[in-house]
Structure 1
Amino acid sequence: MSLVPRQVAELPWRLLWVVIALGAAGVVALYSAAGGSMTPWAINHVARLVLFFGLAIGLSYIRPQTFQDFVWLGYGGGILLLILTLALGVIGGGARSWLELGFLRIQPSELMKPILVLVLARFYSMVPPREIRRWSAIWPTGVFLALPILLILLQPDLGTAALIVLTTIAMMFLAGLPLSLFIGGALAVAAAIPIAFSFLLPHQQQRVLIFLNPEQDPLGAGYHIQQSQIAIGSGGLFGKGFLNGSQSHLQYLPAQHTDFIFAAIAEEWGLAGGVVLIFLFYLLLRWGMGVASEARGRFERLAAAGLTMTIFFYIAINLMMVMGLAPVVGIPLPLVSYGGSAMLTVMICLGILMAIDRQTRRDPRRGTPPF
């Protein structure tokens, strides 16, 4: 007789150890960013990690069918929160993106990411395979996407809107829509870029221009990218050592506890530390795609793949941003950066993925997702 309860033994412990390792890396980086102090960031990061980790474990015991049944209610609730944010929200970082709920401050636009993935997974699971290439399988996605994107752009939060659009495109591709649709869409977007640029706010236009030429204003709008690249490059192979990062501790590196935390880690731990961190993310994403490939139902497969892609876009956009390969759009590094809403979103994604994984493991017709 096993001394470990079945419910505990069924948890994907290799994944959970990866999540804990990423969270611990965040604690170490935030401790260093505060000059060798657990306050104000590291201690709060630990508290959120424990709380949301427990939430993810709790979600893993919910049947995927339950998520499927309540997905429309969740979509309506997410839209309501976005409307309340526009009316009653708190301005932070130049956008009215935050909603104060007394004991909790959340960013509803973050919660729309997993909600929209589940909505699209539910919709495409109901579309017959023979109908997937028809217009009737395309226009509803535009409707589901349009309302939250409009509300998010009104905040305005271009980075979150872009991530949601990317995830939606990925979901459409995974659902089997024709490749010609994506090629035509890419060409249309490329043609519309000059027009879209004219509608951006001045600070958003400046971010794009600085991305194209960071040396244009090294002490102004290009300061973030320049200092991030200096921090990453100065770390060398093995870094300057823990608590010895000059860019971070001399306050040259901005937002080192949030968006640019990877640059601070690379400066202190070097290329080796950055590679280890990226490898941990690789293990997490590989597990997620393994869950998607082994899932037994179409809703489960699409939901698992979409949730994994949501986490992937967090990682990819943040790393490209701090390396100067993408404009600065305010996307945090999952589980590592300081921030409650982003961590909550990622943990919700992981919780639902674990729920799908649990169902797959109990189905003898399927194997175990690879790590």
Structure 2
Amino acid sequence: MKRAVQQGIRILNAFDWPLLALLVIMSVLGLTIMHSAVGGTDWRFADQARNFLIAFVALWVAAALPPPLLLRLSPIVYVMGVILLLGVEFFGETSKGATRWLDLGFARIQPSEMLKIAVPMVLAWYFQKNQGTLRIRDFLVAALLLAVPFVLIVRQPDLGTALLVFATGFFVIYFAGLSFRLLIPLFVLGAVGVGLLVHYEEQICQPDVDWVLLHEYQKHRVCTLMDPSVDPLGKGFHTIQSMIAIGSGGIYGKGYMMGTQAHLDFIPERTTDFIFAVFAEEFGLYGGIMMLVLYGLLVARGLHIAQQAHTQYGRLLGGAMAMMFFVYVFVNIGMVTGILPVVGVPLPFLSYGGTALLTLGVAGGLLMSISRYRPART
């Protein structure tokens, strides 16, 4: 009996309670809006409930692993992830024009999801290993560690996941001490590029213009972002219907399960990429603000955990996990509201899907592991 009590205490001590409370609230909110999006408790709702259960098990397992063990495992996890990506490159299964899955015989996996965690882990490990002696060469090595999986994922092609992997890795490099002054030229080039893209939109979006570095469907996504009305019943349909749904919700929303755009099937992918449109239509501007506040608190708690971490590894990894939540939310809501291209990034804890939920659960668990870790005093 005493041993069972001690085990129960150890399990409870694995959790960061403010973070857990936010994750539970988001999960309940996610299941609630999923119930509305599917119109009841069909197989998708049941599957999502199961996905949440698996994600919380993964969260607890990750939370129970101490950062010193995570530090030792980081390069192993990264190498395994890159090997699996190479497996996808040569032996992957193609579906809907993309080769993202690898059949291992006993399971069918999407290795790119693993790299969202593996890349920041190995970069945090690398900077911890070289702490106090960082030189330009170290940042170049870190950039190479990030570039390898990024290029392999882009080749699948899976631009949405590649951007998330790049973002989590970039934040580790930035938090490790990359000078902001080095980024200013990149921001200037980006601003100039966007300006030129908008200015020459009519010419470069012609069907016979090849963008060379991007696939044809990626070119269409960017052109559709700039003017969805060019093909309102085709490539612009998702964006237009999503913005109509959000606008029709007004300030107070139409009420739970009362969204006409969603329940009359005008919103494509309403259970996955565009679930925010369902939420905004039913709960309005106030509901959208409430959701953004919850996400803001989640990111803020993650950054606080990173700031209070006792090791360089914990600070870098915790900061990257917190910013991963931010990037997920920013990209998804940006594409749903028509300010970013549609790249297939789910909304954390709301969009249907087991793989993304598992990744988010592990990310939350890593933050909890960093939060509870206290180095042994010597």
Pair 1:331-2:345 in alignment: yes
Q: 1:108 aligns with which of 106, 111, 115?
A: 111
Asked if structure 2 preserves the Cα contact closer than 8 Å seen for 1:28 and 1:42, the reply is no
Asked if structure 1 preserves the Cα contact closer than 8 Å seen for 2:54 and 2:358, the reply is no
Aligned-partner SS, 2:273: coil
Rounded to whole Å, the distance in 2 between the matches of 1:103 and 1:42 is: 26
Question: Per-residue displacement from partner, 1:259-281 (whole Å, max 9, x unpaired)?
Answer: 00011111112122222222221
Name the stretch that deviates more: 329-338 or 85-94: 85-94
Question: Who is 1:271 aligned against?
Answer: 285
The Cα of 1:93 is off from its aligned counterpart by 4.7
Question: Who is 2:9 aligned against?
Answer: 6
Question: Who is 1:220 aligned against?
Answer: 234
**Aligned residue runs from structure 1 range 1-371, under 5 A:** 5-10=8-13, 11-36=15-40, 38-101=41-104, 104-129=107-132, 131-132=133-134, 134-187=135-188, 197-360=211-374
The Cα of 1:191 is off from its aligned counterpart by 6.8
Aligned-partner SS, 1:41: helix
The Cα of 1:95 is off from its aligned counterpart by 1.7
Rounded to whole Å, the distance in 2 between the matches of 1:80 and 1:176 is: 29
Asked if structure 2 preserves the Cα contact closer than 8 Å seen for 1:106 and 1:340, the reply is no
Relative to structure 1, the CA distance from residue 246 to residue 347 in structure 2 (aligned partners, 3 Å threshold; closer, same or farther) is same
> Which sections of structure 1, spanning at least 5 residues, go unmatched?
365-371
Aligned-partner SS, 2:101: strand
The Cα of 1:99 is off from its aligned counterpart by 2.9
The Cα of 1:7 is off from its aligned counterpart by 1.9
Aligned-partner SS, 2:171: helix
Q: Which letter does structure 1 place at the counterpart of 2:62?
A: L
Rounded to whole Å, the distance in 2 between the matches of 1:228 and 1:67 is: 41
Name the stretch that deviates more: 287-296 or 99-108: 99-108
Relative to structure 1, the CA distance from residue 39 to residue 102 in structure 2 (aligned partners, 3 Å threshold; closer, same or farther) is farther
Relative to structure 1, the CA distance from residue 93 to residue 39 in structure 2 (aligned partners, 3 Å threshold; closer, same or farther) is farther
The Cα of 1:120 is off from its aligned counterpart by 0.9
Aligned-partner SS, 1:96: strand
Rounded to whole Å, the distance in 1 between the matches of 2:108 and 2:38 is: 22
The Cα of 1:87 is off from its aligned counterpart by 3.2
> Which sections of structure 2, spanning at least 5 residues, go unmatched?
198-203, 205-209
RMSD: 2.4
Aligned-partner SS, 1:60: helix
Relative to structure 1, the CA distance from residue 100 to residue 269 in structure 2 (aligned partners, 3 Å threshold; closer, same or farther) is farther
Relative to structure 1, the CA distance from residue 277 to residue 190 in structure 2 (aligned partners, 3 Å threshold; closer, same or farther) is closer
Rounded to whole Å, the distance in 1 between the matches of 2:323 and 2:95 is: 27
Relative to structure 1, the CA distance from residue 92 to residue 310 in structure 2 (aligned partners, 3 Å threshold; closer, same or farther) is farther
The Cα of 1:33 is off from its aligned counterpart by 2.0
Relative to structure 1, the CA distance from residue 90 to residue 273 in structure 2 (aligned partners, 3 Å threshold; closer, same or farther) is farther
Question: Per-residue displacement from partner, 1:43-99 (whole Å, max 9, x unpaired)?
Answer: 111101111201111211111011111111101110122122233333345321123
Question: Per-residue displacement from partner, 1:277-317 (whole Å, max 9, x unpaired)?
Answer: 22221221111111001001111111100111112111111
TM-score (norm 1): 0.90
The Cα of 1:190 is off from its aligned counterpart by 5.9
The Cα of 1:104 is off from its aligned counterpart by 4.6
Rounded to whole Å, the distance in 1 between the matches of 2:337 and 2:229 is: 14
Asked if structure 1 preserves the Cα contact closer than 8 Å seen for 2:247 and 2:281, the reply is yes
Rounded to whole Å, the distance in 1 between the matches of 2:96 and 2:328 is: 18
The count of residues paired between Structure 1 and Structure 2 equals: 360
Rounded to whole Å, the distance in 2 between the matches of 1:277 and 1:103 is: 38
TM-score (norm 2): 0.88
The Cα of 1:320 is off from its aligned counterpart by 0.8
Aligned-partner SS, 2:35: helix
The Cα of 1:107 is off from its aligned counterpart by 2.0
Question: Per-residue displacement from partner, 1:220-254 (whole Å, max 9, x unpaired)?
Answer: 11111111111111111221122211111111100
Q: Which letter does structure 2 place at the counterpart of 1:155?
A: Q
Question: Per-residue displacement from partner, 1:130-151 (whole Å, max 9, x unpaired)?
Answer: x43x321221022202221121
Asked if structure 1 preserves the Cα contact closer than 8 Å seen for 2:75 and 2:125, the reply is no
Q: Which letter does structure 2 place at the counterpart of 1:76?
A: V
Percent identity, aligned pairs only, is 36
Q: Which letter does structure 1 place at the counterpart of 2:27?
A: G
